[in-house]
Amino acid sequence: MDLNLSIYSSNISSIVSIFEDTKVIREKKANELLKKLEEQSEWTEEEFQEYSHYQYHFDWLLMHSLFLSGFSYFENYMRATAKEIENKVGGKIKIKDIKGNGYLDTFRKYIHLIGEISSANDNSENWKSILSFKDVRNSITHQSGQIKKESTKIVEHDIFFGPSKKLIRIRNIDFIKDFVRVSIDLMTAIANEKNKKYGS
């Protein structure tokens, strides 16, 4: 068994269960607030804001946080795998010697070129999907959800917010489930090939 794969795939899988397991709590809170507000003729600003938070913002904020955590786990898996290959293969070429399009691509290139793991090539459908998920991650992390281009996962899961299609909000758990599936599929393929080549 590959320990890195086991740990990081478990962490990534947990983001869906966290969202689903807390659904009852979120719905109960929203219903309690709505009932309270319906019973009162006047609402305070604070009561209205709390209701609005649970009714309109809580789910997408939670999904953004969970997705960002999941993507971070994926990046850490790729870093750990590249480091493991660097330690096993040795030689003069280190991770820092590889130039990629950001850290994640550098780890992928190292795994593919130096580790000779074909599953980490940049032409696979899973890798192309990861790059689309990375566009979403970067948009949320660096641009408050503003987008400059429509990547495939944004369109596929229709996570646009507003008619301009210049802003995204993850309001669909299927987007996160898709990320979980794609990332774990890619991690598993890399781990299986690496373990066959170098042992676990």
H helices within the chain, ranges in order?
3-21, 23-39, 45-52, 58-89, 103-109, 125-143, 152-156, 173-198
pLDDT per position as a tens digit, 118-152: 999 999 999 999 999 999 999 999 998 999 888 89
Residue with tokens 């990081």: 8
User: DSSP label at 122?
Assistant: T
* Structural contact between residues 67 and 170, judged by C-beta atoms closer than 8 angstroms: yes
pLDDT per position as a tens digit, 35-58: 887 888 787 888 888 888 888 889
* Spatial distance between the Cα atoms of 15 and 12, rounded to a whole number of angstroms: 6
pLDDT at 26 over 90: no
Nearby residues of 172 by Cβ (< 8 Å), 6 or more positions away:
157, 158, 159
Side chain identity at residue 4, one-letter code:
N
Side chain identity at residue 169, one-letter code:
R
Per-residue pLDDT at 8? 96
* Spatial distance between the Cα atoms of 77 and 9, rounded to a whole number of angstroms: 9
User: Residue 146 phi/psi, 5° resolution?
Assistant: -75, 140
**β-bridge partners, 160:** 168
92, burial (CB in 10 Å: exposed 0-12, middle 13-18, buried 19+): exposed
Two structure tokens written together for 146 = 């503003």
pLDDT per position as a tens digit, 160-180: 988 888 899 999 999 999 999
Q: Kindly report the pTM of this predicted structure.
A: 0.91
Question: Looking only at Cα atoms, what is the longest distance across the chain?
Answer: 74
User: DSSP label at 120?
Assistant: G
